[in-house]
Structure 1
């Protein structure tokens, strides 16, 4: 699976650096960024023996009030969600086809976010994030519609409201051995989210997770694959 509209193989530079650091041989989780580790928390709460350690980086795990708002909003008609949910709205509005690979590459190299990516990430995205369609045009391998659906179905369970997808135990893995990395920029999780997560998962609150801040923003694994891998390796 991937994250933020990027197929998992776009993270291959970071995974290659992890392999170079000889990470492996013990149970662990996949690329620990965005929705993937949030889902790993669900799995760890159901089968903790499968995981030696859970590494979570800037995942969509929020304070109860925010989750309650999201959970209530998820019950609105799809047509309304498409217009008011900022991530869904953005995914549906994004450009998703080009006349040639050259045109697509020029487009992405001109985007502000992608200009922060090193060449190894750009090449991974061009190879694994785009695909030639049957009509000869270039499209997104992880379509804008799939990305919007992912945002709509991200679990936002609360003790009272549960989740649109049923109870998944996302916040029940507090006793698991793990580390939660959060960005000082707070361009995804805010201060209330981090405070809640520390009180729930942190060792000072009786949980099994260490907490550590990093200076980079939410797209750190793509902007600095090697630096990200080194920090993750330190905790594995």
Structure 2
């Protein structure tokens, strides 16, 4: 029986957006995922993402009969780490993709920013307000995203994955974003500011970071290595690394898990 790899997506990017990445892993692992975190009425988006963690924990408990390898990008990486710390019995290995553990100074600053109501100024939530949500066709949506800086380095297959899975047919024709914009904004506004004291992890763990990320910095890699006991690797790319370099990212994920299986 194959080991289970549960993949958790980044904010705004439904799990299907990672189809190309996961295709490189599906021969070796049983792949599991939740299509859109933060969209279930029983698991609302609240400060520090407590219900989103519960959504993952409940899904693991109800879906899997064995501990899983939890892999997540950005939002998904942080949530996977939170599950690993709260319920280590559910996770046999953890891999975070460009998902930082904030330093104590960053966490205190973020707490203050929340209190002052400035999250839209310091997180992508401000840029998400008023974003375009509808297009006349798949082709129009594809051309629109291809012209955006965030998507500029995407592997062409991953861009197609996002257009096909990140948008959906609209009742009036055309295409509409599949990830609710209000949920995306709420997730950005409630980024956890209470994780900086997280203890050393009890299972094998690693973080794969992007060399040119505007989210994950060298200080985060140092903190996660020293405090959590994580192995840290760096690949060429930006914060959207898994969708820019899907094959290289998948190769490193597989290498980590195979090395842990050999222990």
TM-score, normalised with respect to structure 2: 0.73
- SS of structure 1 residue aligned to 2:202: coil
2:245 matched to which residue of 1? 224
Q: Does 1:16 align with 2:43?
A: no
Q: Does 1:213 align with 2:234?
A: yes
2:68 matched to which residue of 1? 28
- One of 227, 239, 249 as aligned partner of 1:200: 227
Tell me if the contact between 2:70 and 2:94 (Cα under 8 Å) persists in the aligned partners. no
- SS of structure 1 residue aligned to 2:192: coil
Task: List per-residue Cα deviations over 1:29-53 (Å, max 9, x = no partner).
Answer: 4442111121112111122122111
Are residues 142 and 185 of structure 1, via their aligned partners in 2, closer, same or farther at CA, if it must alter by over 3 Å?
same
Following superposition of structure 1 onto structure 2, how do residues 161-176 of structure 1 map, counting pairs within 5 Å? 171-176=198-203
C-alpha separation between the residues in 2 aligned to 1:193 and 1:151? 19
TM-score, normalised with respect to structure 1: 0.81
Tell me if the contact between 1:58 and 1:189 (Cα under 8 Å) persists in the aligned partners. yes
Tell me if the contact between 1:62 and 1:189 (Cα under 8 Å) persists in the aligned partners. no
Following superposition of structure 1 onto structure 2, how do residues 171-186 of structure 1 map, counting pairs within 5 Å? 171-186=198-213
Are residues 135 and 193 of structure 1, via their aligned partners in 2, closer, same or farther at CA, if it must alter by over 3 Å?
same
- TM-aligned CA deviation for residue 24 of structure 1: 4.5
Following superposition of structure 1 onto structure 2, how do residues 1-236 of structure 1 map, counting pairs within 5 Å? 2-20=9-27, 22-24=28-30, 27-77=67-117, 80-82=118-120, 84-157=121-194, 171-202=198-229, 209-236=230-257
Task: List per-residue Cα deviations over 1:61-97 (Å, max 9, x = no partner).
Answer: 21111011112222334xx533x23311111143222
Tell me if the contact between 1:23 and 1:233 (Cα under 8 Å) persists in the aligned partners. no
Counting matched residue pairs gives 216
Segments of structure 1 that go 5 or more residues without pairing to the other structure are 160-169, 203-208
Are residues 222 and 158 of structure 1, via their aligned partners in 2, closer, same or farther at CA, if it must alter by over 3 Å?
closer
C-alpha separation between the residues in 2 aligned to 1:229 and 1:189? 19
- SS of structure 1 residue aligned to 2:115: coil
C-alpha separation between the residues in 2 aligned to 1:48 and 1:72? 31
C-alpha separation between the residues in 2 aligned to 1:68 and 1:137? 44
Where relative contact order (Cα < 8 A, 6+ residues apart) is larger, the structure is: 1
- SS of structure 2 residue aligned to 1:32: strand
TM-align CA RMSD? 2.4
Tell me if the contact between 1:97 and 1:140 (Cα under 8 Å) persists in the aligned partners. yes
Segments of structure 2 that go 5 or more residues without pairing to the other structure are 1-7, 32-65, 258-263
Q: Name the structure with the higher strand share.
A: 2
